[in-house]
Chains A and B, each alone.
Chain A
Amino acid sequence: MPTINITASLQGASGHINNNASSWLNDARNQPNGTNTSTYVSSSAQCCIIRASLLSGRGGALSANCFRSFVFFDTTSVPGNITAADLKVYGFSQSTGDVIPIEATAWGVNGSSTSLTNSDFGFVDFNIPYSTGSAGWQTGTTQPNIFALNTDAINQMNNNQYLNVALINEQYDYNGQGMFPGTSQLNGVRFQDATYPIELEITYSSGYPNDIIGVPSGSIEIVAGEFSSQINSVIGVQ
């Protein structure tokens, strides 16, 4: 089946930092809004942008940090029904945690908002993972970190023509696990890197190969409620 690569059109990160924390869960992970948010529109390698940490500083004060990376893909250009997809992310610098992609509703849900805001921090759904966790994190440029996306992600793309993803720490953020002081899991990401892009490699099934009543086959998405890719024949013509 044919494949197509689509680069994330929107890329950013949002984190919550609390420098007078008692609990990682209450004071960072479960907070509705972020305190530090960035939208990346040009190349930016960030060492610690997927983060779960509870570190003691001066005078015994605890700093709780939770950072999530948000990426949005417009998949309207996929010329068929998506049957499989890999999310590819090049890491950078830090690799002390495992990462998992989950459903997000940042970026105005459908990508209508092109700037990430602090309120996007909480726009994640821990109940909808889009893959299994990373089991390690590559930080070099030899190869990306690859997530084989599940049916929830594929259905999202087929039904809505976009994929809205948060990349988060698996052990503490996704699992909602409490944390002892002195814990720190950091993962870096290369954003908006033309050479090492954050992208989807999408496998799709080609549509019905013939023109129908003057409409070119390439322009046909759905006929009588059936996706073009699922049509074997029209009025007996294969």
Chain B
Amino acid sequence: MRYLSQSLIFDNSSIYFINEEDKKEYVMMDWEDVLMKKHADIVCHNQGDILEIGFGMGISANYIQANNPKSHTIIENHPQVLEKAVEWAKDKPNVIILAGSWRDKLNDLNTYDGVFYDTYGDDDSKLFSNHVSELVKSGGVFSWWNNIDKEENIFDLSEVTYEEINVTPTDNSYYNSSIYYLPKKHF
């Protein structure tokens, strides 16, 4: 997988790598902070068991922890990000870190009150919709980073609601719209 072989660069405001065109390809940036808080609050609606797919800069993970969930399982597959996630989790007894992709770890997962999917370079992303209903408890919530600047979702899920949020992204290579459509799917 292309992304997993990239050498990531971490600075105070972003994670990026230098791509084939010798340009910065951003994985995540701190302008998303307000969005990460909203996603975290949505999936932590009952402070239950939370599954987070993709650790990134750890922004959403911190907001999830701020909700004091019963359990917080994080799946991360990039080795550099994984290292940071493991370090971050050391003083958090309710956190479980699973190394690998969500496909690799399906058999290690349970069911959750809230699932937040926010990956980069996941070539299997379209397949996740086949499994999401197995992962979310009845009454649970699924939310994800929505890179589409309209009320659509890559998972082809029905009955998804969207909250329009005004954003001012720093110039980047993945999302530059002034409105973010935060998706929420109840089960």
Contact = CB atoms under 8 A, between A and B. Distances in A.
Interface of A: 19-20, 22, 47-48, 55-62, 93-94, 180-182, 184, 186
Contacts of A184: 2, 20
Given A57-B173, A58-B120, 5 more contacts: A56-B3, A56-B120, A59-B118, A60-B154, A184-B2
Contact of A61 (B2, B128, B147): B147
Given A20-B147, A58-B145, A186 B20 contact: yes
25 contacts: A19-B147, A20-B148, A48-B20, A48-B21, A56-B3, A56-B125, A57-B120, A57-B121, A58-B145, A58-B174, A58-B175, A59-B117, A59-B118, A59-B125, A60-B117, A60-B119, A60-B122, A60-B125, A60-B154, A62-B154, A94-B20, A180-B123, A181-B124, A182-B2, A184-B2
Contacts of A48: 20-21
A182 B1 contact: yes
Contacts of B117: 59-60
A62 B154 CA distance: 9
B22 interface: yes
B2 A55 contact: yes
Contacts of B144: 59-60
The CB with the most chain B CB atoms within 10 A, among A19, A20, A48, A57, is that of A57
Contacts of A19: 147
B50 interface: no
Contacts of A62: 125-126, 154
A94 B21 CA distance: 9
B146 interface: yes
A55 B120 CA distance: 10
Given A59-B154, A61-B148, A180-B123, A47 B27 contact: no
B31 to A, nearest CB: 13
Contacts, number: 73
A23 to B, nearest CB: 11
Nearest to A21: B154
Contacts of B120: 56-58
B126 A60 contact: yes
Given A182-B123, A184-B2, A59 B20 contact: no
A180 to B, nearest CB: 7
A32 B3 CA distance: 30
Contacts of A57: 120-121, 147, 173-174
Contacts of B121: 55-57
Nearest to A186: B20
Interface string B1-41: 11100000000000000001110000110000000000000
Interface in B75-126: 117-126
Nearest to A61: B147
Interface string B141-167: 000111110001011000000000000
A59 B123 contact: no
Contacts of B124: 181
Contacts of A20: 147-148, 152, 154
Contacts of A93: 20
B21 A59 contact: no
A177 B100 CA distance: 30
Contacts of B175: 58
A135 B43 CA distance: 51
A87 to B, nearest CB: 25
